Structure 1
Amino acid sequence: MTHFVTDKCIKCKHTDCVEVCPVDCFYEGSNMLVINPDECIDCGVCIPECPVDAIVTDDAVKNILDLEDSRLTDEQKTFKMFYNINIEYSGKWPNITVRKDPLDTAEEYKDKKDKALYFSENIE
């Protein structure tokens, strides 16, 4: 089991989680973070550090990864998409190990739903 970052991180990008990670498995894009699942040791110390609850275990997707999207709920589709985004972009974005200030948009977007449309492939 591993952890991954969901769309709740988008436009917030709190980085409190990176300071507590013992294996430095977080990677930084322009408006969110991702976790490299091959590096994550499933310790869970990052989960309570995220003020927007953007980090979840892969239990949220393990039973749906092989299912066609037409059989999934919207929430399951989003989890599956962001699980795959974590895998892909942890191999493209730079590693982050030191806390930074959240984005200027963090307060405005902290409670917004369905933030996937704001996902950016760009590096900071």
Structure 2
Amino acid sequence: MAYVITSPCIGVKDASCVEECPVDCIHEGEDQYYIDPDTCIDCGACEPVCPVEAIFAEEFVPEEEQEFIQKNADFFK
């Protein structure tokens, strides 16, 4: 199970999460950061440092943000 970055990150791109990730699975996209679901070790280090609370464990992504699960995965295809 991976973590997912959702819409509050769009346009903010603070990068605090990138610095905390021990496996370098967070990558910068054009409009937001993305977490590689194949590399994420589900450690949760990124979640508490996000200043806009955009990061969720996949099973806790809010209903209105569900599309970001696929958006994160598609970024790495």
Q: Please say which structure displays the higher CA radius of gyration.
A: 1
The number of equivalent residue pairs is 77
Structure 2 unaligned residues grouped into runs of 5+: none
Deviation, 1:79, is 2.3
* TM-score calculated relative to the size of structure 2: 0.90
Higher strand share: 2
Aligned equivalents of 1:19, 1:60: Cα separation in 2: 23
Cα deviations across residues 22-41 of structure 1 (Å, max 9, x unaligned)? 11001111220010111100
Q: Deviations over 1:67-103 (max 9, x none)?
A: xxxxxxxx52x422100000011x16xxxxxxxxxxx
| Residue 20 of structure 1: how far off its partner (Å) | 1.1
- Structure 1 unmatched runs, 5+: 62-74, 93-124
Show CA shifts across 1:85-122 (max 9, x none): 00011x16xxxxxxxxxxxxxxxxxxxxxxxxxxxxxx
After the TM superposition, list the runs of 4 or more consecutive aligned residues in structure 1 that deviate by more than 3 angstroms: none
TM-score (normalised: structure 1): 0.58
